[in-house]
Structure 1
């Protein structure tokens, strides 16, 4: 999963939730339970971000950075919505977030101090079937969502894929990630916007 993170390949039930829980998918859950063994495969939502409803954890192909794969030369469910989004421009842009190392160290240090520790940050990456959504903030206001963080040994950094207002997607922009579930001890993690993908793709370079 660190490869997915470094290469900016958003993965379902890690970096976004698929739209099978909304009103448009009534009956689909029953179909899955009837025809597939879904024990242990139902995702949970973790993190500091609190959406108005389940659709706030879903992403469109444009927000995921997959706009080049959207073709309007055939009919499909959701075509009108995607055409409207393309005309208006995506509300969110996919980015990589670099977490401040000292702030991450402080999260682990809390495990060895008195009082309530911060929520645990799993290394190298949280387990599957866990949709992580932390609030990305600027001056105390939410400006996007940070997804499952992971530790890259190659870059020696904690990174996450995030979705922010397109005006904030410039690499180097300073933001804050609110770490910790609502009602528990929370911490502001300093972070910077970085390109997505984070690692350069050399698969097609000349040998």
Structure 2
């Protein structure tokens, strides 16, 4: 049996030392999220473009964890841990489940489906182990079953998940279905028939257009996928590979994979339960944000834009702290649009004998799953940027950012610091000098959101 995360932290000396160091824990199979997807099916530029111009099909079957929880106390478990409103939760509904530590910092979020009266499925990363830990150590009459992601799972997944997005997505879906597309409200799901198989369709949208996510038993996966692709031929449908898929966080304004807030006082028992080779234990941080306080690398629900989900009419872990966040609103979520000329200068340094900036790979320039870059105004840190992505159809680079509220107005000009100070412990990071990039504040989501319905804020 491997050592616990708590034991690994004690050996490292401090949380910052541990999460900043590329060691055996960071090479864990836990981080091989997209190994079962081709990096590019055609090429990542066309795959991105399909999200904006036609229809893109993304395979979500492999890279996330499913936690199936069933029992009389299953809903109480999620209500005790989640900031969300569960008062009207019922079979056929889904919600973006958000979990915090006792100090109100974000542990993670995922999509929670209510499959039956006492039956739920949580899909994602960050909150999965936290929910399972509380189920196993708490007084809950429920049981859980995990379906791991491809990095640690042997064999195929239990279920498939296909996300169909883009301006032509509804037309493709209507042609792929065996019957009529039912009227499914936003973030609800219902049964549909594809290729003769009864499966589920979740209405949502990772892009600015309405779309659907289909899920069902793995044995039907090929039939369903082929039916969708056949229906999409006249719309120039594209399958999305592992390179393009993570870039949809910008249109969705979703801050993916933040550093889980599990390293402070009061979380020791959880870290003793959690393995050092767990998903959380394998994460490392990168970026220009420098701090010896690991909490500076955390997000709050408000800073991550999850405030619309918070329900203070029930008790949950971190409630008092989250209530203060809602009142004070120190930081809010925005999109940062990179200055094109300075971005060109960053890439141009590859052809310059005098300058070496941190190499920005495309379409995901970041060099860690959790990367935090400082954002400044007149030299003072006013925010933390994350999820930096290049969007081919915009020909530009964007970042999401938790920014001090006084600097959140669209059009505000700020500076993002790119690269790490000093020598990096990451062997993938070459010696380089930092570069300041001018950025402009824009709304999050950046694009016009056409997904919303009257019940969107209750999702």
TM range (shorter): 0.7 to 0.9
Q: Which has the larger radius of gyration?
A: 2
1:168 aligned to which of 401, 407, 415? 407
Q: 1:71 maps to what in 2?
A: 311
- Alpha-carbon shift at residue 154 of structure 1 (Å): 2.1
What SS does structure 1 have at the residue aligned with 2:303? coil
Q: Is the 8 A contact 1:42 1:129 kept in 2?
A: no
2:403 and 2:380 mapped to 1: Cα distance? 12
Unaligned runs of 5+ in 1: none
2:297 and 2:374 mapped to 1: Cα distance? 12
- Alpha-carbon shift at residue 116 of structure 1 (Å): 5.0
TM-score normalized by the length of structure 1:
0.87
Matches within 5 A, 1:14-93: 16-33=258-275, 38=278, 42-87=282-327, 89-93=328-332
What SS does structure 1 have at the residue aligned with 2:384? strand
- Alpha-carbon shift at residue 55 of structure 1 (Å): 0.9
Q: Is the 8 A contact 2:288 2:374 kept in 1?
A: yes
**Higher RCO by CA contacts (8 Å cutoff, separation 6 or greater):** 1
Aligned length: 199
1:32 and 1:159 mapped to 2: Cα distance? 34
Give the structure with the larger helix fraction. 2
- Alpha-carbon shift at residue 196 of structure 1 (Å): 0.3
Q: After superposition, give the CA deviation of every residue in 1:14-43 in whole Å (9 maximum; x if it has no partner).
A: xx2111222232132332218xx5379611
- Alpha-carbon shift at residue 132 of structure 1 (Å): 1.2
What SS does structure 1 have at the residue aligned with 2:274? helix
What SS does structure 2 have at the residue aligned with 1:147? strand
- Alpha-carbon shift at residue 126 of structure 1 (Å): 4.5
Q: 1:146 maps to what in 2?
A: 385
1:8 and 1:39 mapped to 2: Cα distance? 23
1:193 aligned to which of 420, 423, 441? 441
Q: Is the 8 A contact 2:275 2:281 kept in 1?
A: no
Q: 2:351 maps to what in 1?
A: 112
2:409 and 2:338 mapped to 1: Cα distance? 16
- The verdict on how the C-alpha distance between 1:204 and 1:19 changes in structure 2, with shifts beyond 3 A counting, is closer
Runs of 4+ in 1 over 3 A off after TM superposition: 126-129
1:6 aligns with 2:248: no
Deviates more, 1:60-69 or 1:120-129: 120-129
2:365 and 2:263 mapped to 1: Cα distance? 22
Deviates more, 1:153-162 or 1:129-138: 129-138
- Alpha-carbon shift at residue 203 of structure 1 (Å): 2.9
Q: Is the 8 A contact 2:372 2:386 kept in 1?
A: yes
RMSD: 2.2
